[in-house]
Amino acid sequence: MWSKTMLVVFINIVFIHCLSVNIGAAVANPAASDGRFVHHGFTAEDLTMDGLAAVTPTGLLALTNATYQTKAHAFHPAPLRFLNTSSSAAATVRSFSTSFVFAIVSDDPRFRNNVDHGLAFVVSPTKNLSTANAGQYLGLLSMADDGKPSNHVFAVELDIITNPEFGDIDSNHVGVDVNSLRSLQAKTAGYYVDGDGAFRSLQLNSQKPMQVWVDYDGQAKQLNVTLSPVQVPKPKKPLLSQAIDLSTVMAEEMYVGFSSATGVVFTHHYVLGWSFSFDGGAAPSLDFSMLPKVPRVGPTRRSVMLYVVLPIASALLFLVAFVLGVFFFVRRWHRQYAEVREDWEVEFGPHRFTYKDLFHATQGFTDKNLLGAGGFGSVYKGVLPVSNTEIAVKRVSHNSRQGMREFIAEVVSIGRIRHRNIVRLLGYCRRKGELLLVYDYKTNGSLDKCLHDNATSTTLCWPKRIHIIKGVASALSYLHKDWEQVVIHRDVKASNVLLDSEMNGLLGDFGLSRLRDHGADAKTTYVVGTMGYIAPELMHTGKATPLTDVFAFGVFLLEVTCGRRPIGESDSNEILLIDWVLKHFLSGSILDVVDPRLAGRFSFEEVNLVLKLGLMCSHPLPKARPSMDRVVKYLDGMLPAPELSPTHMSYNMMELMLQNGVGSHSLPVWSSLLDSSVGTMSSASVLSDGR
């Protein structure tokens, strides 16, 4: 019983509640339909359309499409009550606000200006505008009824053509129309910037979406129309403000919507969003991010850029880049491998290497392949591409063409020399300002390095030294006497003796000094050779002879035996090796000069012989020096060891050098030799100080 009552009460409560909700909804609906609406894009149900008007799949209201002289209308389906009938007196018009976003797109950019018609926001007593004309009538009115008060049509036109019959101000204007297309007031499209109030004009058919506000104050009987680009919030100052009493225009029920018409140019009129409200409430604002996008049609400026200019430009750019690339590549290739070739070189063809081969053989002359850098240039190790021959490439910078022919002839001729103690010159290559000489590669580097480089831990033992000495002697003897012509080496020294894997000494670097002879400054005949190895008479006359080679060989013998450089220090004095050895020779302490690193492990006879020969060969008077032929015989024991009388040997090489060499004209000689000599910088300064 109790529960039954409770149930009835409960049901009643639920029923009443539902009823009240239903009543609420019933009350809310007419309120909602009373003018206020907002559309971000449209569906077909949102609008009553005729003519060309259609809603696109993206929700865009496309009033017109590419069709000539046709109308389009789209109305809010329900009629709106604009009149305030509650007042007993004459009816007044309710305040209203509407806002919409539109875009006008002309297919053909050539006709952007002037040629087609616009669209209008319209308030009309009927949705049936079938009698209206297209074209300049915007589908609003007909030629027959234009201007008649019976039309009851109010419109805000966005016109993009000048119609003189309606007194249009220009081809890009906003106008207020009542019953006629002759506007009550019209203004060139644009807006007033908030703040400074500056006017910015806008192109209605620019394809860009723009927003329009139409606000009517029923009390003040004032109509405001405002326009702005969608990015700009509603400007405070309206584009046009018109005092107007719409009460004579408005009928009991009115329809709001849009009207548009095409002329002879394909133009699209789009409405993207729309809101409306009555009675002083601002039209609901539109959220642009929710609006559909305006489609790009026809060859717009941007698409012309995109599809015509850009591809052509990029193709051109690519072509130019490609041609430039090829050009620079070829030029670089050409430069990288460029050589100097002259007609006379044809006969030396077989001895000529291409720079490209040498470049690749030495891996582009990388530092990794650098064997050493001396006075005449840098030497690189390489492997010839096809034959896999190991080579040493000497790059000599040489800027003069003078004497080049003779030099190359000599290089080629020397290249034919086959002797087991002579480094084979395989050929050459010429480039601008540069000469490249290609030699057989010798695994153990130069004797100079072996002898003086403390980094090499193993000391060259005496048997190896005498072996090397004999080898170099036989090479020089061969050059002086046995070869088809007399060849003067001109630069015998430890660093020009290379060692192969079996520690054979091979004489290399022929005639380079000769090249120096024909240096850039032809007026100065530089004495060539290397400080400390230069015979006094060579200093004096500048003429190289086999005996100047013998002198250098004498110094070389002393150097190898003593393990000292030709010019060195002793008792903190700069002295010539020759003088130092001679001093010990004369004082009977000759064994004191022998390289202490040999630690006494040597044959006394051999050392004695070599030192004696060294002194003999480096005698200041050329006539007192033996020929290389004889030197070889002494070394081989085919001639008894020569005797040196102390009187015969009473000279001081340093003094002789100073007397002969450092004359007033020959200071440049010394300085010019600095770069090509080993350890001569200090001695040269001492020598000049010594004057």
Ligand X SMILES: *[C@@H]1O[C@H](CO)[C@@H](O)[C@H](O)[C@H]1NC(C)=O
Cite the annotated binding site for ATP by residue number.
394
Closer Cβ to ligand X, 66 or 686, answer by number? 66
Closer Cβ to ligand X, 213 or 355, answer by number? 213
Q: State the nearest-atom distance from the C-beta of 270 to ligand X, in Å.
A: 13
Provide the token pair at 102.
């539109």
d(CA 519, CA 640): 44
Which residues have CB under 8 Å from 545's CB, separation 6+?
488, 622
Note whether 524 binds ligand X by CB under 6 A.
no
Closest by CA to 66, choosing from 263, 214, 240, 267, is 267
Q: State the nearest-atom distance from the C-beta of 15 to ligand X, in Å.
A: 35
**What's 461's DSSP letter?**
P
Note whether 128 binds ligand X by CB under 6 A.
yes
Note whether 336 binds ligand X by CB under 6 A.
no
Q: State the nearest-atom distance from the C-beta of 91 to ligand X, in Å.
A: 9
Number of residues that bind ligand X (CB under 6 A): 22
Closer Cβ to ligand X, 192 or 380, answer by number? 192
3-state helix, strand, coil in the chain (%, to 5): 35, 20, 40
The separation between CA 546 and the C-alpha centre of its own chain, rounded to angstroms, equals: 59
* Catalytic residue list contains 34: no
Note whether 232 binds ligand X by CB under 6 A.
no
SS3 label, residue 84: strand
Which residues have CB under 8 Å from 366's CB, separation 6+?
none
Query: Contacting ligand X (CB under 6 A), which of 12, 69, 130, 603?
Result: 130
Closer Cβ to ligand X, 163 or 224, answer by number? 224
Annotated binding site: 394
Whether the CB-CB separation of 261 and 71 falls below 8 Å is answered with yes
SS3 label, residue 27: helix
Note whether 67 binds ligand X by CB under 6 A.
yes
Q: Which stretch binds ligand X (CB under 6 A): 123-131, 412-420, 488-496, 619-627?
A: 123-131
Which residues have CB under 8 Å from 143's CB, separation 6+?
133, 137
Residues 235-264 that bind ligand X (CB under 6 A): 237-238, 241
d(CA 1, CA 653): 149
Closer Cβ to ligand X, 61 or 466, answer by number? 61
Provide the mask over 196-225, with x wherever binding to ligand X is found by CB under 6 A and - wherever it is not.
-------------------xxx----x-x-
Q: Which stretch binds ligand X (CB under 6 A): 115-123, 127-135, 159-167, 493-501?
A: 127-135
Closer Cβ to ligand X, 51 or 620, answer by number? 51
Provide the token pair at 93.
């018009």
Count of beta carbons in the 10 Å neighbourhood of residue 282: 12
Query: Contacting ligand X (CB under 6 A), which of 52, 80, 437, 562?
Result: 52
The amino acid at residue 399 is: N
Note whether 399 binds ligand X by CB under 6 A.
no
SS3 label, residue 634: helix
Provide the mask over 291-310, with x wherever binding to ligand X is found by CB under 6 A and - wherever it is not.
--------------------
Q: Which of 448, 491, 509, 595 is catalytic?
A: 491
Q: Which stretch binds ligand X (CB under 6 A): 65-73, 108-116, 602-610, 644-652?
A: 65-73
Parallel, antiparallel or unpaired: strands 190-192 and 199-201: antiparallel
Concatenated DSSP letters of 242-302: EE--GGGT--SSBEEEEEEE--SS-EEEEEEEEEEEETTPPPPPP-GGGSPPPPP-SS-HH
Provide the mask over 72-111, with x wherever binding to ligand X is found by CB under 6 A and - wherever it is not.
------------x-xx----x-x-----------------
The amino acid at residue 60 is: L
Closer Cβ to ligand X, 219 or 443, answer by number? 219
Note whether 314 binds ligand X by CB under 6 A.
no
**What's 425's DSSP letter?**
E
Residues 379-398 that bind ligand X (CB under 6 A): none
How many CA atoms are closer than 13 Å to the CA of 539, on its beta-carbon side? 30
Query: Contacting ligand X (CB under 6 A), which of 131, 285, 354, 682?
Result: 131
Closer Cβ to ligand X, 216 or 428, answer by number? 216
Note whether 231 binds ligand X by CB under 6 A.
no
* Cβ burial, residue 389 (10 Å; 0-12/13-18/19+): middle
> Which residues pair with residue 92 across a beta bridge?
84
Q: State the nearest-atom distance from the C-beta of 171 to ligand X, in Å.
A: 25
Helices and strands (H, E) in the chain, number of each type: 16, 28
Q: State the nearest-atom distance from the C-beta of 87 to ligand X, in Å.
A: 4
Whether the CB-CB separation of 168 and 159 falls below 8 Å is answered with yes
Q: State the nearest-atom distance from the C-beta of 70 to ligand X, in Å.
A: 8
Q: State the nearest-atom distance from the C-beta of 142 to ligand X, in Å.
A: 11
Tell me which residues touch ligand X (CB under 6 A). Answer: 52, 54, 65-67, 84, 86-87, 92, 94, 128, 130-131, 215-217, 222, 224, 237-238, 241, 279
Catalytic positions, written as ranges: 491
